[in-house]
Chain A
Amino acid sequence: MNFNILSLIIFLPALGALIIACISNSRAKLIKYIAAFFTLVPLILGVILFFNFNKSAPLGTMQFQEKASWIPLINAYYHVGLDGISLPLFLLMDFLGFLVVLISWKIDLRPREYFAWLLLLETSILGVFASLDMLLFFIFWEIEVIPMFFLISIWGAGRKEYSALKYVLYTLFGSAMMLAGILCLYFTTHSLDMTYLIQNGIGVNPAVPATLVFFLLLGGFAVKLPVFPLHTWLPDAHTDAPTAVSVVLAGALLKMGGYGMIRICVSFFPTVARQYAPWLIAFAVVNIIYGAAVTLKQTDIKRLIAYSSVSHMGFVLLGIFTLTQVSMVGATMQMVSHGLITGLLFATAGLVMHNAHERDINKLGGLARQIPIITVIFTIAGLGAMGVPGTSGFISEFMVFLGSFGSSVLHAKIFVVIAILGILMGAGYILWLLQRVFYGPPQDKFNGTKDADKLEIFYSALFIVAIFGIGLAPSVLANIIKTGVAAIIH
């Protein structure tokens, strides 16, 4: 590609946000169409990128690279590019970016600000996945804080201001640790370029011990993933955010944490990662089991799905730190798959809450009679969350377990066996949720609840096609991810 297609994809949503910011709040329809346009074009371009990805390029090369000198004084470049790991996540955000605009179609409170912040959020997440310079990575990482703060605190529900502030403070705390780590990296290597750091790591005998830098950087990613015990922001933020924001939060923002761990923690510090991997796998298992256990107790639909995200991200952490090719490919696929599945779960849960005006599971019941289409969509999403074969959830969890079981990390096998319990508990909470909310005797108070309309069926269909597409033909995605992982784990 001769012209800078990657930068175009990254900044088109921001351009859309600027344009929307100048339109008056009364022309909501125009705002929504502009938002849809400025997220559809990046999606189309992203798909073109996907099919232009060269699977047989030499290991470790970044594709679609663009590099321009930015701050020569501190060796900072505007450097973007994609490889096998970042391309699927990049495309996932592209896809979700368009879908959340469709999910938000019915927003009527201050649409101008809502869509402007949403598009700015998309730019920042796309930038995180495409960035190949540490300062640029950090800048894109931080930019998402402000749109999220406004989106949750203005258009959310429940304790929205509290949840928004909690989200901001937690994220900034993690970023503070990450900034210290980046500064240490710069001090010891005088380079902010990720491709250089992947090759050379922190060097021999660095002035700041590699372990300290590893954990400083890991701190930032651990807050985002999230890793127990830094996960307490997640249920509040997910529950109190508006539906579309929950979709982006669960679908893409959590993946930034996992991506950072693979791209930075494991790639730059392979020996430290291998040394502390048993601890991190232990935390992963806590995520899986504790997350699933708490999920079983929930009575609010969105909070239940939020805690299930904690559990599913545990699979990602397990896959990353068992440090085998298969498990890391599985972890990346799990990130993509979870983004789609949980995205659909949140979207549909939002639909149920909006139409039935009820979020408490104890008060819902028997909705299958009144809203059959939503029931079908939710059931399919639930099957994906359980990891039923045919959906992307199965193939990613299977690869994680297959790879982890054969891992050379200390005690990996024991942890994997414990983690498999998580699948059982996952089936438990999903089936229980479906039975209590949709199946069972219909209740009269829900007569006349609106079912999904054409737009909602359309975007749900897109989600489902993607979920089953990856589930039935996983090699399309897995082969691409493998080219990226093979460069890290030999």
Chain B
Amino acid sequence: MDLALITPEISLLATVVIVILLDLFVQQKKILAMVSLAGLAVAFGFSVHLWGGSAQSVFNNMMVMDKFAMFFNLLFCVTAALVVLASSDYILKFDSFQGEYYALILLATTGMMLIAAATDLMTIFAALELISISLYALVGFLKDAKSTESALKYMLLGAIASAILLYGMAFVFGFTGNTQLANIGNTIFNMSLSGVSAAPGLMLGIIFIIVGLGFKIAAFPFQMWVPDVYEGAPTTITAFLSVASKAAGFAIILRIFYTAFNFPTWMSHDWGMIFAILAAIGMTVGNIVAIPQTNIKRMLAYSSIAQAGYLIIGIAVMGFSPALTYLGQSGVLFFLAGYAVTNLGAFIAVIAISDKVGSDRISDYDGMLKTSPMTALALSLCLISLTGIPLTAGFMAKFYIFSSAVQNHLLWLVIIAVLNSVVSAYYYLRVVKVMWLNEPKFEGKVETSFGLKLALGLSCLGILLLGILPNYAMHLATLAAKMFGS
């Protein structure tokens, strides 16, 4: 029975309904957070159960529940849970619609789970819209001028990107006659060599798909929305955007390009090279523009553009790797896991500190080590992980993905990437420096709720675990990378 296979999504949808209804009756909004967490835990449990089984396609091959989809389900559940935990303080800023906040986060997570499992162009688009619309609303939640501006920018640019994506999908459909990814792949494979080159519309469709999805993953040159949207959105949603929405984007790019466009080889080398160049420019632009930033949210936004660049290296590797090897994909998956805990940790610490000092300026973080040692230490650990210094998840992730790149003859890209890591050390360590060296500007400790402390602690634990004993996580990533595999 197909429904039994999409239990994670169904459980999350049920939780959404329960949260919205409960919101009408309860005064204590903390209960809604706990219900959301319970729902996420149930979805997590179902995903673990489905991981153990073999890959199954559901709904006439519109979706497939394989280990790849389950890996992302687990990642999204954990990310959403950490964001919900961290929101327990932040939510007091909203005068109304607190229940809807949790419900929208869960809806976005459902959309992300759907897109990780989607194998048909239409399912992909439907899930993408579910994610996007939930996030448009969430970005504007603070309802002040900045937040509304960010939401509007995000919505307009997102809508244009979705439109281009749809246009690209239409081209691909027109030239292959299929919407299912596997069938598209087969059709292209069976086209003669001259047939494919004589179908420029197909190439155009692929380019448009890269554009539309590139917007989601903050790839250069579609990254212009990132700093403004990240700065204006509520910081919890910024965290959610930077980690989960990006992961969803990467999931679907990996799925589409591996299943549908992997043959013929010259075509995969073509888009592989496109992604490699986008990665190289994206990393450099992200890192260089991050240097003069004085607002920590904008700095982290540009840093996430650079981190997306490192991730896109994995997609390029996939394009250049021989058939039936999955180094690029497993690199991307492991990097996403490490990046999730690191970036979430950084943003959660920023939530705590900015709440206390009332601003997002880096110079206001002076002397945080003296006043709030634990929070400052946690933020330092996250920033050191983002730089890629060993004993942290960030280093292991970079090592793994760069290793996969070297093994597929992309040494030039790795050299650009490691040089970029050096540049990034400058602005990450600048924040660490002001926290440790300068005299504190504000007296008193940063007060945080239990939920936020728990989320921060779990993130730091994750960073150290993935940095020192990464083998199990790498193993899971390798298993999941074999899409459709049993």
Contact = CB atoms under 8 A, between A and B. Distances in A.
A145 B399 CA distance: 18
A135 interface: yes
A261 B265 CA distance: 41
Given A71-B471, A186-B403, A169 B422 contact: yes
Interface string A182-195: 01101100000000
Contacts of B400: 74
A227 to B, nearest CB: 18
Contacts of B425: 168-169, 172
Contact of B421 (A143, A172, A186, A207): A172
Contact of B422 (A72, A176, A207): A176
Interface in B79-94: none
B406 A187 contact: yes
A154 to B, nearest CB: 6
Contacts of A74: 400, 403, 474
B419 A71 contact: no
Interface string B141-169: 00000000000000000000000000000
B470 A71 contact: yes
B395 interface: yes
Interface in B443-481: 469-471, 474-475, 478
A414 interface: no
Interface string A283-327: 000000000000000000000000000000000000000000000
Interface stretch (B101-109, B338-346, B383-391): B383-391
B418 A177 contact: yes
A129 to B, nearest CB: 17
A150 B403 CA distance: 30
Contact of A139 (B387, B390, B422): B390
A165 B411 CA distance: 28
A483 B388 CA distance: 37
Contacts of B442: none
B391 A143 contact: yes
A135 B402 CA distance: 13
Contact of B414 (A70, A154, A180): A180
Nearest to B389: A142
Given A143-B391, A184-B406, A176 B421 contact: yes
A138 interface: yes
A133 to B, nearest CB: 13
Interface in A147-173: 149-150, 153-154, 161, 165, 168-169, 172-173
A316 B471 CA distance: 39
B71 interface: no
Contact of A153 (B389, B433, B474): B433
Interface in B34-49: none
Contacts of B54: none
B325 interface: no
Interface in A206-230: 207-208
Contacts of A207: 409
Nearest to A179: B418
Interface residues of A, number: 32
A146 interface: yes
A184 B402 CA distance: 10
Interface in B331-383: none
A180 B478 contact: no
A165 B387 CA distance: 14
Contacts of B469: 70
Contact of A169 (B402, B426, B470, B478): B426
A191 B360 CA distance: 46
Interface string B414-437: 110011011001100100010011
A73 interface: yes
A183 B389 contact: no
A423 B463 CA distance: 50
A70 B474 CA distance: 12
B407 interface: yes
A218 B419 CA distance: 16
Contacts of B395: 139, 142
B72 to A, nearest CB: 20
Contact of B399 (A70, A135, A168, A177): A135
B3 to A, nearest CB: 36
A144 to B, nearest CB: 10
A143 B468 CA distance: 13
A153 B437 CA distance: 8
Contacts of A176: 415, 418-419, 421-422
Contact of B390 (A73, A142, A186): A142
Nearest to A74: B403
A390 B161 CA distance: 77
Contacts of A180: 402, 406, 411, 414-415, 418
A150 to B, nearest CB: 6
Contacts of A138: 390
A169 B384 CA distance: 14
A221 B181 CA distance: 49
A153 B475 CA distance: 40
A156 to B, nearest CB: 11
Contact of A146 (B384, B399, B415, B422): B384
A333 to B, nearest CB: 31
6 contacts: A70-B471, A73-B474, A154-B436, A165-B426, A172-B425, A179-B399
Nearest 7 Cβ contacts at the A-B interface: A176-B418, A139-B390, A183-B406, A172-B422, A187-B406, A142-B390, A71-B471
Interface of B: 384, 387, 389-391, 395, 399-400, 402-403, 406-407, 409, 411, 414-415, 418-419, 421-422, 425-426, 429, 433, 436-437, 469-471, 474-475, 478
Given A139-B395, A149-B429, 10 more contacts: A71-B474, A139-B390, A143-B390, A153-B437, A161-B433, A161-B437, A180-B411, A180-B415, A183-B399, A187-B407
